[in-house]
Amino acid sequence: MSGFMQTSFFFGYMACICYAFFLMLGMVGFRAALFFVRHIYKSIKCE
């Protein structure tokens, strides 16, 4: 890579891809935790 524009495009696209991974993995973790908590609280019997 030589030149400012190529370097800025590279880092810009890498930042977008990293942000997309951040959102995807955060959503997966949040959904898994939500499913786990709902499953645990459904199995508790309140009498």
In a domain? residue 28 = yes
Domain-embedded: residue 2: no
Q: How many domains does the chain have?
A: 1
- Give domain status of residue 16, yes or no: no
Residue 13 domain-assigned (yes or no): no
Let me know if residue 26 belongs to a domain. Answer: yes
The whole-number pLDDT of residue 47 equals 62
pTM assigned to the model = 0.68
Q: Which residues of the chain, if any, have pLDDT below 50?
A: none
Query: Backbone phi, then psi, for 2, in 5-degree steps?
Result: -135, 135
28 is in which domain, residue-wise?
A: 22-47
CB 1 within 8 A of CB 13: no
Which two tokens mark 15?
Answer: 């930042």
User: Given this model, what pLDDT does residue 1 score?
Assistant: 66
Asked whether residue 42 is domain-assigned, the answer is: yes
In a domain, 40, yes or no: yes
